[in-house]
Amino acid sequence: MNRANKLTDEQYENNFEELTPPFTRNSAVSEAFRCLYCFDAPCIRACPTHIDIPTFIKKILTGNPLGSAKTIYESNWLALTCAKACPVDDLCEGACVLNEKGEKPIQIGRLQRYSVEYYLDSGKGNLFNKKSFNGKSVGIIGSGPAGLACGAELSLLGYKVEIYESDKVPGGLNTWGIAPYKTRQYDSLREVELIKNLGVTIHTCVTIGQTISFDELLNRHDAIFIGIGLGESENLDIPGENLKGVSGAVKLIKEIKKEKWSSIDIGRRVAVIGAGNTSIDAATNAKRLGAEEVTIIYRRSENEMPANNFEYELAKSDGIIFKFLTSPIEIIGNSSVEGLRCLKMELGEKDEHGRRKPVPVPNSEFEIPVDMVITALGQKFNAEFLELIPDIKISNRKLLVDTDTYQTGNPKVFAGGDCINGGKEVVNAAYDGKQAAHGIDRFLTNTP
Amino acid sequence: MIDLSTDCGGIKSPNPFWLASAPPSNSAYQNCKAFEAGWGGTVWKTIGGPVMNVCNRYGSLELNREKLVGINNVELISDRNIETNLKEIAETKRLWSDRAVVVSLMVESKKEAWQDIVKRTIDTGADGIELNYGCPHGMSERGMGAAVGQVPEYCKMITEWVTEVSSIPVLVKLTPNVTDIRFPARAVKQANADGIALINTINSIMGIDLDTLKILPSVAGKSSHGGFAGPAVKPIALHMVSQVANDPEVNLPISGVGGISTWRDAAEFILLGSSSVQICTAVMHYGFRIIDDLIEGLTNWMESKGFSTIDEIKGKALNQISDFGNFDLLHKTVARIDQGKCIHCNLCYISCEDAAHQAIDLKKVNGYNETTVKEEECVGCSLCALVCPVDECITMVRVDDESASKTWNELTSEFKDQGKPLTWENLAEFQKKYGIEIH
């Protein structure tokens, strides 16, 4: 592969420096002061975990950051990752009434980070009273945000909780899937540690179906929660996909999250296929690793692009090139990638989701010279694993659960996170996990 | 052309903005620098007998990140000797003949001491004298300052000693730490004072450091009440100024002091009867440079309102001050919410619901909360309008037809004429007649 030159250690650290620095106490209080302390605030409703945002902000203002952190953790066990990685423009901050007032919204994410880090740095133990052990145990598959949230909540409810993680490092996508300029592994592992300190056991390097069977797991525990997320990046299903220099975005970002920057080979010219938030992560990371030219290829137009505005702006400021209405048809090269053959597209009739369908423009084939292709068209659904579980139902690449209890078709099995929603934000998984814990509790205590 | 010049009890200045007797007017350097910046006058920091100051002298009231919303101090009068001060006063007056140089005085309560310092002050060429009857700490324990200001007889006695020998105007600065400010004001009027300055600082404890449990400010572990000043005291000062201004037994020019930070504050003090205004805390916070906006802002406002002199606005709002018994009981307002301006913070709802009269509905409309006033429940208290963070979103609208009016005094006198006692039943009958329902 035609590799980009390696950078100096200093350049790498500069490139991956966090986008939003922490507040100082002084700046946090100043920002907290701007909050109007709305009643029945729109930001609370916009947060998928419904954190009582005005209350936690008010507590920063009064000099009660521990109380502030407690308010946050009452709703969300992954408060640190959410504070740093949530698409706040689309959630809490987008709903802030100050937008309507013609002012900048409160920096809710940054304030949340202030309180949460204050608590984590304080060395103070558990903020909540734990119910005494009720004699029951729950097994959780996957230590990503859904599994961690479910485990933490169950632990407080008095259950023995064991999380099974196939990787050797726990945390799921919080550990492996978020761009390093938003969160580092350290952040994710701090949250894992917090949850372990609640009494949750995490078994790493355990793959269900290989290390132990699902049946054995069912025997061991009174209930099971599945928080396995999704799999590797989807294939493009075009010729040349096996050439050297083709990588899935998920795999690449996992490599990057090891923070051994210089060990990662990146092409001089990189094409990223797809224009979702993960595509932007892959593109900006490639650029920050030293790629000279990074192009995002998307078959629809700017208007249909799934990436949110914050990510789009970030990519543009990183100098990422966007080729809209372009569809790749072949990756060219002898042994490694040398180019990408594409077709021009135009938008036709609306499809079943109401999005205009891209159709090829006749005789519009052209080639882009690239050295690396990163695929980011979403993640694979882990149907193979789910087939091991009796009585569950899958529809449209989603594991079906009761919307209230998160129970699957198998009464002892519950699920949440990306495997039930097709791939959303950390904050959605955090909510699912917590809600599912209560679904499990109701099931195991026969409470309607 | 706007003319800001003023005359306060015979003390003339090109604009009404004077430095109050306080740290900013401590020295010739500071007073000359203030005049250079454009200040109309100064009241030289009180000179008098030997004192020594301590550290720390000041405490700050911080409110929601706003520093020095209030400041208290245990600082004493000038800790520089009289000779140095008098020499600098004479020099300053020589350099700045068009500005008002007033000298604040405080000596022990002996006739000779007062008359001596007054004579020496006159010799400097100063334009006037201000008697400090207000300092609430340090000096009062030695029988001076507020110890005088709190006893009308002492106020009268000392003022008489001074006016007996003074050939220049004498203002008396009063302490607010009294039950009724009109009594010391009347006393100094009887002693032939030329004007009154008010208010001095208010007794206060600033707070407690919750880490060390030390009272603030702390002087090596000991603390005491100090004099409270700054924006937080303005409403109290405005009230006292209006009381003195409206008292027919006083009828003296007033130099308004207490929490004046901006031209808006100054305009309010003048509208309630002040001829000049004195400023300290705002200068302690930002320096003499604030004079630029004080002058310009007041000028622009006067121009926009069609006023051209300070005399035209002086006391212009005083005639509105009345007794509660003269308020119209049939004047009815209700809150109206401009839905186009509403940002859906719902603070009007929760304040009315929990702390007023449950007169605002909160309903979900298209996923938004919509707040609407139940006018039949609204008592017109205006709490919602006060908490609303959006300008002009909630307004209090008059809804009575203005055909009738009845004050409490009129009502009770009618009752008396009709031989009706003041009972809840008789009151209810009156309310019913005018459609007033109390929930």
pLDDT of residue B145: 85
Best of B343, B354, B360, B366 to disrupt the A interface (most A CBs within 10 Å) is B343
Contacts of A103 in chain B (CB under 8 A): none
Mean pLDDT of B241-251: 98
CB pairs A-B closer than 8 Å? 36
Res. B134 pLDDT band, cuts 50 70 90: confident
Count the neighbouring beta carbons within 10 Å of the beta carbon of residue B325. 12
Å between A67 CA and nearest CA of chain B: 17
% of chain A at pLDDT higher than 90: 97
The beta strand positions in A198-309, using DSSP E, are 201-203, 223-226, 246-248, 269-273, 293-297
pLDDT of residue B366: 83
Distance separating alpha carbons of residues B299 and B385, to the nearest angstrom:
30
> What single-letter amino acid sits at A76?
N
- For B107-132, write each residue's pLDDT tens digit: 999 999 999 999 999 999 999 999 99
Query: B346 to chain A: nearest residue by CA?
Result: A39
Å between B164 CA and nearest CA of chain A: 55
- Averaged pLDDT of chain A: 96
Res. A164 pLDDT band, cuts 50 70 90: very high
Count the neighbouring beta carbons within 10 Å of the beta carbon of residue A392. 17
- For A121-158, write each residue's pLDDT tens digit: 999 999 999 999 999 999 999 999 999 999 999 999 99
> Does residue A448 register a pLDDT over 90?
no
The two structure tokens encoding residue A141: 């598959």
Mean pLDDT of B417-435: 95
- For A6-63, write each residue's pLDDT tens digit: 999 999 999 999 999 999 999 999 999 999 999 999 999 999 999 999 999 999 999 9
- For A276-317, write each residue's pLDDT tens digit: 999 999 999 999 999 999 999 999 999 999 999 999 999 999
- For B194-212, write each residue's pLDDT tens digit: 999 999 999 999 999 999 9
Distance separating alpha carbons of residues A218 and A220, to the nearest angstrom:
6
> What single-letter amino acid sits at A248?
G
Å between A363 CA and nearest CA of chain B: 48
Q: Check CB contact of A359 with chain B, cutoff 8 Å.
A: no
Cβ neighbours of residue B257 under 8 Å, at least 6 residues apart? B20, B173, B197, B198, B199, B200, B237, B277, B278, B279, B280
Q: CB B345 to CB A41 under 8 A?
A: yes
> Does residue B146 register a pLDDT over 90?
no
pLDDT of residue A225: 98
| Distance from chain centroid for Cα A394 | 22
- For A374-430, write each residue's pLDDT tens digit: 999 999 999 999 998 999 999 999 999 999 999 999 999 999 999 999 999 999 999
% of chain B at pLDDT higher than 90: 92
Distance separating alpha carbons of residues A134 and A7, to the nearest angstrom:
55
Considering CB atoms only, which of B64, B347, B368 is closest to A33? B64
The dihedral region occupied by B203, where left means phi > 0, alpha psi between -120 and 50, and beta the remainder, is: beta
Q: Check CB contact of A235 with chain B, cutoff 8 Å.
A: no
Q: Check CB contact of A104 with chain B, cutoff 8 Å.
A: no
Q: CB A101 to CB B343 under 8 A?
A: yes
Half-sphere exposure of A75 (CA within 13 A, CB side): 20
Q: Give exposure, A182-213, as e/b (b: 16+ Cβ within 10 Å).
A: ebbbebbbbbbebbbebbbebeeebebbeeee
Considering CB atoms only, which of B65, B344, B346 is closest to A33? B65
pLDDT of residue B370: 94
- For B5-49, write each residue's pLDDT tens digit: 999 999 999 999 999 999 999 999 999 999 999 999 999 999 999
Query: B370 to chain A: nearest residue by CA?
Result: A40
The answer to whether B347 and B387 are in contact (CB under 8 A) is yes
Considering CB atoms only, which of A39, A61, A101 is closest to B349? A39
Q: CB A38 to CB B344 under 8 A?
A: yes
- For B49-72, write each residue's pLDDT tens digit: 999 999 999 999 998 888 999 999
Beta bridge partners of A356: A350
Res. B439 pLDDT band, cuts 50 70 90: confident
pLDDT of residue A354: 83
Q: What is the largest CA-CA distance in chain A?
A: 71
Contacts of B390 in chain A (CB under 8 A): 101
Contacts of B207 in chain A (CB under 8 A): none
Å between B388 CA and nearest CA of chain A: 10
| Distance from chain centroid for Cα B68 | 16
Å between B257 CA and nearest CA of chain A: 30
> Does residue B141 register a pLDDT over 90?
no
Best of A31, A40, A55 to disrupt the B interface (most B CBs within 10 Å) is A40
The answer to whether A413 and A36 are in contact (CB under 8 A) is no
Query: B362 to chain A: nearest residue by CA?
Result: A40
Q: Which domains does chain B have, with CATH numbers?
A: 6-318 (3.20.20.70), 324-398 (3.30.70.20)
The set of catalytic residues of B is 135
Res. B140 pLDDT band, cuts 50 70 90: confident
% of chain A at pLDDT higher than 70: 100
> Does residue B437 register a pLDDT over 90?
no
ipTM here: 0.85
- For B160-171, write each residue's pLDDT tens digit: 999 999 999 999
Å between A34 CA and nearest CA of chain B: 9
Q: Check CB contact of A30 with chain B, cutoff 8 Å.
A: yes
Best of A25, A30, A36, A39 to disrupt the B interface (most B CBs within 10 Å) is A39
Q: CB B346 to CB A39 under 8 A?
A: yes
The two structure tokens encoding residue B384: 């919602």
- The alpha-carbon radius of gyration of chain B (Å, integer) is 25
Q: CB B343 to CB A100 under 8 A?
A: yes
Distance separating alpha carbons of residues B200 and B129, to the nearest angstrom:
16
| Distance from chain centroid for Cα B185 | 15
Long-range contacts of B431-435 (CB under 8 A, 24+ apart): B434/B330, B434/B404, B434/B406
Q: Check CB contact of A62 with chain B, cutoff 8 Å.
A: no
pLDDT of residue B377: 94
> Does residue B385 register a pLDDT over 90?
yes
Count the neighbouring beta carbons within 10 Å of the beta carbon of residue A366. 10
Mean pLDDT of A114-127: 96
Q: CB A97 to CB B368 under 8 A?
A: no
- For B328-357, write each residue's pLDDT tens digit: 999 999 999 999 999 999 999 999 999 999
Angle between helices B182-190 and B152-165 (to 10 degrees): 30
Distance separating alpha carbons of residues B417 and B432, to the nearest angstrom:
20
Contacts of B368 in chain A (CB under 8 A): 42
- For B262-287, write each residue's pLDDT tens digit: 999 999 999 999 999 999 999 999 99
Å between A427 CA and nearest CA of chain B: 21
- Averaged pLDDT of chain B: 96
Count the neighbouring beta carbons within 10 Å of the beta carbon of residue A273. 28
Q: CB B347 to CB A39 under 8 A?
A: yes
The two structure tokens encoding residue B182: 């009109």
Contacts of A39 in chain B (CB under 8 A): 345-347, 349-350
Q: Which domains does chain A have, with CATH numbers?
A: 21-122 (1.10.1060.10), 137-231+380-444 (3.50.50.60), 246-375 (3.50.50.60)
Residue A8 buriedness (CB in 10 A; 0-12 / 13-18 / 19+)? exposed
> Does residue A353 register a pLDDT over 90?
no
Distance separating alpha carbons of residues A402 and A435, to the nearest angstrom:
11
Considering CB atoms only, which of A29, A30, A97 is closest to B345? A97
Considering CB atoms only, which of B343, B350, B389 is closest to A39? B350
Distance separating alpha carbons of residues A117 and A66, to the nearest angstrom:
10
Mean pLDDT of B413-427: 96
